[in-house]
Amino acid sequence: MTDRYLELANANITKTLFDGLGLPTPVRLVREDSNNPHKLSGHVLLGTSEGASFTKAIDSILAETPVTMASGEGPGKVSLVFDASGISTAEQSTQLYKFFNRHLSALAQCGRVIVIGHKPGALKDTGHATLQRGLVGFVKSVAKEIGRKSATANLLYIDKGGKTAIEAPLRFLLSAGSTFMNAQVLYASKPVTSFEADWTRPLEGKSVVVTGAARGIGLAISQVLARDGATVIGIDVPQAETELKAAMADIKGLSLPLDITGEGAADTLVTFCQNQGRGLHSIIHNAGITRDKMLSRMTPVQWELLMQVNLGAAQRINEALLATELLDNGGKIVGVASISGIAGNVGQTNYGFSKSAVIGMVDSLAVPCGKRGITINAVAPGFIETQMTAAIPFVTRQMGRRLSSLSQGGLPVDVAEVIGFFVSPQAAGINGNTVRVCGQSLLGA
Ligand code: NAI
């Protein structure tokens, strides 16, 4: 689906008119180059607070990438990274203010603001924890100020571990893959398993399962994971077998036509994976449906069918997989929630419940999975340009797009890139996160 408003706002002939009328002019987002993904570039200005814990680690991580460290004196356009972990008093918060007050005007279009702090709950000093919590409000407010440049701001909280905890999320947040992830808090800890970091084809030689892979976001996830080296086992309903087979043939993947709500579906999936003769690296629970109706008019079928596709099937598949050792030591589970599961939505009591429960699934399985070297995380997409959102009436659709700080909807690939990060072996310290991929939508922000 094309966003005509975005096209016109960026076209040579109409751009001046948009500017003259004072209309918001969303900047087209920069996305990964599919032939050369994960390549970092540009200039980064690194700031720090007194007594900060992570600056040396951040400095050495950045030194190993192609980004250029900026001094802050030149007029060059930059991304801004600030180690705020040292801030433990109200007075010290001025250090954060001073850095951004001085340098925010140098932020590049589609640039990044990344603030790094200590996870408040992990700190013994209550004053320190209080001030670290303040970073959330700061980052979300910065994101609203810089959205007109299509720049994003995110907060990375470190629980345990230094360089090994920071490296993968920092690289991802700086990359084009995080373009529609905005105003989010990501928790990172010491990796739960050891891994070989491959920053260009992280999934080389690995098998992944994607449900609902025939179209939309599931198709984009399959394509991104295949680009990153994975053999994708795509699952979709038997009615979509032709599309599924074509999609998997394109990426040299395998097709498994299967209704995930059918009896024995979870066992069929596990047996299929076991028969491949190699372990399973990840499962992406993407298949999902909507059955919108005001609650008083909703039929039992509209509630029950949706709950089985969006939630029950994912739970049964997890249970069946976790009863084996297929995912042990480095495996990944990813749920696909929605901002409707965070904010709620009119006519979506069933959908909101199921997607909120997907977040609950992540929260409740993170610890037991972590003990086995498995991570579980979820994305909560906002307005994404798919067949589902194309069916929304014109005015509501326009409003849905402009509600984000980036004044545009995301593409399926934006959700897929965040999932690609979650399942990359180097993200072994990212467990129990639900990240919104919504460009900082006003809905439930
Ligand atoms: P879509 O409707 O385009 O694709 C969903 C796929 O899941 C279809 O290929 C469908 O055949 C498959 N599927 C449905 N029931 C199945 C079953 N019983 N067994 C196997 N496969 C089944 O949807 P879209 O937009 O790509 O959404 C993907 C996921 O993202 C869903 O979980 C949705 O709830 C979520 N989402 C989408 C948003 C958007 O803006 N499009 C926003 C927030 C969340």
Location of structure tokens 């930059």: 78
Element at 254 (helix H, strand E): strand 254-257
User: pLDDT confidence of 388, banded at 50, 70, 90?
Assistant: confident
Location of structure tokens 């372990």: 279
The per-residue pLDDT for 98 is 98
- The three-point CA angle 437-435-126 to 5° equals 140
Location of structure tokens 């800890």: 189
Atom of ligand 1 nearest to the CA of 239: 11
**CATH superfamily for domain 207-437:** NAD(P)-binding Rossmann-like Domain (3.40.50.720)
| Residue 289 reports pLDDT greater than 70 | yes
User: pLDDT confidence of 405, banded at 50, 70, 90?
Assistant: very high
The per-residue pLDDT for 75 is 60
User: pLDDT confidence of 18, banded at 50, 70, 90?
Assistant: low
The per-residue pLDDT for 1 is 63
Joined together, the tokens standing for residue 29 give: 């987002």
User: From the centroid of its chain, how far is CA 428?
Assistant: 15
Sequence-ordered list of residues with C-beta below 8 angstroms from that of 40, at least 6 positions apart, any chain: 65, 66, 67, 171, 174, 175
- The three-point CA angle 25-33-5 to 5° equals 20
- Tell me the percentage of the chain whose pLDDT exceeds 70: 96
| Residue 409 reports pLDDT greater than 80 | yes
| Residue 5 reports pLDDT greater than 90 | no
Q: Report the alpha-carbon distance of residue 443 to residue 445 in Å, rounded.
A: 5
More confident residue, 20 or 61: 61
| Residue 49 reports pLDDT greater than 90 | yes
- The three-point CA angle 128-130-133 to 5° equals 110
User: pLDDT confidence of 21, banded at 50, 70, 90?
Assistant: low
| Residue 258 reports pLDDT greater than 90 | yes
Question: What's 31-188's CATH class?
Answer: alpha beta
Atom of ligand 1 nearest to the CA of 214: 9
User: pLDDT confidence of 399, banded at 50, 70, 90?
Assistant: confident
Distance 75 CA to ligand 1 centre (A): 45
What DSSP state is assigned to residue 262?
A: S
Q: What is the mean pLDDT of residues 366-384?
A: 97
Location of structure tokens 């690995």: 206
Atom of ligand 1 nearest to the CA of 262: 18
CA-to-CA separations, 36 to 175, 227, 270, 280, in angstroms, rounded: 12, 10, 33, 26
The per-residue pLDDT for 340 is 95
Is-contact 365 318, C-beta < 8 A?
yes
The per-residue pLDDT for 8 is 72
User: pLDDT confidence of 72, banded at 50, 70, 90?
Assistant: confident
Q: What is the mean pLDDT of residues 306-330?
A: 97
Atom of ligand 1 nearest to the CA of 288: 32
Best of 3, 237, 307 to mutate for ligand 1, by most ligand atoms within 8 A of CB?
A: 237
Q: What is the mean pLDDT of residues 409-431?
A: 97
Location of structure tokens 């491959």: 198
Helix axes 412-423, 163-174, angle to 10 degrees: 160
**Nearest CA owner, ligand 1 atom 21:** 236
Q: What is the mean pLDDT of residues 97-116?
A: 97
CB of 1 sitting under 6 A from ligand 1 = no
Helix axes 216-227, 412-423, angle to 10 degrees: 50
Q: What is the mean pLDDT of residues 370-388?
A: 94
The per-residue pLDDT for 81 is 98
| Residue 12 reports pLDDT greater than 90 | no
Distance 289 CA to ligand 1 centre (A): 5
Q: Report the alpha-carbon distance of residue 268 to residue 194 in Å, rounded.
A: 31
CB of 211 sitting under 6 A from ligand 1 = yes
pLDDT tens track for 107-160:
999 999 999 999 999 999 999 999 999 999 999 999 999 999 999 999 999 998
Q: What is the mean pLDDT of residues 327-355?
A: 96
CB of 169 sitting under 6 A from ligand 1 = no
| Residue 305 reports pLDDT greater than 80 | yes
The per-residue pLDDT for 397 is 85
Distance 386 CA to ligand 1 centre (A): 10
CB of 404 sitting under 6 A from ligand 1 = no
Distance 287 CA to ligand 1 centre (A): 4
Helix, strand, or coil here: 122?
helix
CB of 338 sitting under 6 A from ligand 1 = yes
For the chain, what is the mean pLDDT? 94
List the domain boundaries for the chain: 31-188, 207-437
Is-contact 113 155, C-beta < 8 A?
no
Distance 387 CA to ligand 1 centre (A): 10
List residues with catalytic annotation.
351
Location of structure tokens 């976001």: 217
User: pLDDT confidence of 22, banded at 50, 70, 90?
Assistant: low
| Residue 224 reports pLDDT greater than 70 | yes
